[in-house]
Chain A
């Protein structure tokens, strides 16, 4: 146990977090922070977490297990990720949000997440990994209100262009559709129209097609296939009949 503690105490000083001298209100991604600092910290966290898990498994008795749970690595590493976030690492903020439920009691989470998401949406909209943030954010149910999510996304739409704008549109399309709201389709269309070259365009087209060409009431395009006997079968050849298409397979 002592060894474990020593490891985490010395770890942060081994690779110092780089502090920038230039002002960085609008850092759009982690380019300003060598990603090695974030990667390094995550790697050390994961090592510590694995070691902790082993200890937890080997623990005997409720008292020992409870004590271990108090010292969950996420809590120990928190200040270091917070320092990294303060130095401009957006991904450190993402880590903090992901670990939030390990760090504080339930009732503290809304305020915490409000701060961290707020900082992410303020300064990191341009990051190429921001799609993950939007996905995470739109899945929040307990700690962020629907009104806040709507407002944040609307603001993000106004403040972005190009690929970043496309990412917000994609997030909105999925969010709306998850809420069974058909306006989601409009966001897909807008994305495809305004940002055909963006990295999100292909994904958007595929998801849009699935919903429109292969949704209820839609007539899907033809497909052909070969049977074991070598005969060619096409879907359209069955027009005029009630056709059941049965997809099956094994994982």
Chain B
């Protein structure tokens, strides 16, 4: 995923850890190049997340296209959607 530093890709990490302070202490300073938000427990509940980590991949129109993919499958899914986007914009 780190490869996709193009503008067409975004990653939002939703942290559902209860105690934000405790988490920060354990993690030290977090340096990330993606958005990481806290207090995600209610969002996770709405989205029906019951195991961590769970990834959803949304296309450019905001529709969920993949759910629960990891590792290689995740990379492939993201690539597939990026290709789709390139195709669309070249039409």
Interfacial residues, chain A to chain B (CB-CB below 8 A) = 209-211, 214-220, 223, 225-228, 231, 233, 235-236, 238-251
Contact across chains for B46 and A209 when beta carbons are under 8 A apart: yes
Q: Is the CB of B53 within 8 A of A246?
A: yes
**Interface residues of B: mostly helix, strand, loop or mixed?**
mixed
A242-B46 contact, Cβ under 8 Å, with A219-B64, A226-B39, A228-B30: no
**With A246-B55, A249-B44 known to touch, is A225 a contact of B85 (CB < 8 Å)?**
no
Whether A223 contacts B43 in the complex (CB less than 8 A), given A242-B58, A243-B57, A248-B52, comes out as yes
Interface size on B, residues (CB 8 A): 51
A214 to B68, CA, bound (A): 12
| Other A-B pairs, 4, CB within 8 Å; known A233-B35, A241-B60, A250-B52 | A227-B35, A241-B7, A247-B40, A250-B23
Identify B85's interface contact among A226, A231, A242, CB under 8 A. A242
User: Quick check: A249 and B9 within 8 Å, CB to CB?
Assistant: no
A213, chain B: closest CB distance, angstroms: 8
User: Contacts A210-B47, A214-B64, A225-B40: A248 and B11 contacting too (C-beta < 8 A)?
Assistant: no
CB distance from A19 to the nearest CB of B (A): 46
Structural contact, A238 and B15, CB atoms closer than 8 A: no
The answer, among A228, A231, A233, A245, for a CB contact under 8 Å with B58, is A245
Task: Decide if B10 touches A217 in the complex (CB within 8 Å).
Answer: no
Tally A-B pairs: CB < 8 A.
145
Q: Which residues of B contact A245 (CB under 8 A)?
A: 12, 14, 47, 55-58
Other-chain residue from B17, B40, B81 in contact with A242 (beta carbon distance below 8 A): B81
Partner of A249, one of B7, B17, B46, B62: B17
Cβ-defined contact, A244 with B40, below 8 A: no
Question: Per a CB cutoff under 8 Å, which of A218, A219, A225, A251 touches B14?
Answer: A225
**B63 beta carbon closer than 8 Å to chain A:** yes
Q: Is there contact, CB below 8 Å, between A243 and B13?
A: no
Closest to A223 in B: B43
Asked if A242 contacts B9 (CB within 8 A), the reply is yes
B15 touches A243 (CB 8 A): no
Q: In the assembled complex, which residues on chain B have CB atoms less than 8 Å from the CB atom of A248?
A: 13-16, 52-53
Closest to A237 in B: B10
A219 B56 Cβ-Cβ under 8 A: no
Min C-beta distance of B20 to chain A, whole Å: 8
In the complex formed, the residue of B with least CB distance to A248 is B53
Is B12 touching A238 in the complex (CB atoms < 8 A)?
yes
Residue numbers in B under 8 Å from A243 (CB-CB): 9-12, 57-58, 62
Q: Knowing A217-B63, A227-B37 touch, does A242 contact B47 (C-beta < 8 A)?
A: no
Looking across the interface, which residue of chain A has its beta carbon closest to that of B1?
A244
